[in-house]
Amino acid sequence: MKKTSSLDALITAFERLPGVGPKTAQRYVMHLLQYDKAAAEQLSRALEEAAAHIGNCLRCNTFTEQSICTTCSDEHRDPRLLAVIETPADQAALESTLAYQGYYYVLMGRISPLDGVTPNTLKLERFLARATEPGVEEVILATNFTIEGQTTAHMMATLLKPYPIKVTRLARGIPFGGELEYVDLPTLAQSLRQRRNT
């Protein structure tokens, strides 16, 4: 059996990144090794450090170097609100709006049987324990508006049904600055269905 070279192993590692195919991975590797070995070494050290020291928050499941992340440790946040999101990237997006001051629960994925991700994989019982803690009054289902995200939101809403907790879903509709003639039809239809008083 032929031994894989360091170069092939590195290209294969880059291919594991989302949206990176064999040619792009090869370009990245060749650039780093040919033009920027210092950056390659920096990347290697940073990845090694991250893999060794970053884990999951015991409370919200996001990435952190401590047992409890800085968001969960922030006593100025609203303990009545819990937003459930798919990934730490989604959390960063919500935080950047400055419009949400509650806490989070990060699923680290979404239900997708084709990809082998089931409710058990996502450990939804852990989510349920967090969502039903004393003080939580509203759970905001902030999963993505994909088939998998919708399925995940539906599953979580079903789990929360027996509890006296308000369950809401992010609104869908026309983006700010959007023109009706350019909005896709499902979004336009959803906007009509979710219209509200002014």
| CATH number for 165 | 3.40.1360.10
For 121-145, give one letter per residue: b (16+ CB within 10 A) or e. Answer: ebebeebeebbbeeebeebbbbbbe
Question: Does the pLDDT at position 10 exceed 60?
Answer: yes
141 and 48, same structural domain? no
Question: Does the pLDDT at position 3 exceed 70?
Answer: no
Phi (first) and psi of residue 19, to 5 degrees? 80, 5
101 and 149, same structural domain? yes
Domain-embedded: residue 188: no
- Beta strands, E only, the chain: 55-56, 63-64, 78-85, 102-106, 138-141, 166-169
- The string of pLDDT tens digits covering residues 149-161 is 999 999 999 999 9
Residue range(s) defining the domain that contains residue 84: 63-169
- pLDDT (mean) for 20-41: 92
122 and 37, same structural domain? no
- The string of pLDDT tens digits covering residues 54-69 is 999 999 999 999 999 9
DSSP state, residue 174: P
133 and 103, same structural domain? yes
The answer to whether 104 and 124 have CB atoms below 8 angstroms apart is: no
144 and 80, same structural domain? yes
Domain-embedded: residue 135: yes
Domain total for the chain? 2
- The string of pLDDT tens digits covering residues 118-167 is 888 888 999 999 999 999 999 999 998 888 999 999 999 999 999 999 99
**Antiparallel, parallel or unpaired: β 55-56 and 63-64:** antiparallel
67 and 42, same structural domain? no
141 and 102, same structural domain? yes
| CATH number for 48 | 1.10.8.420
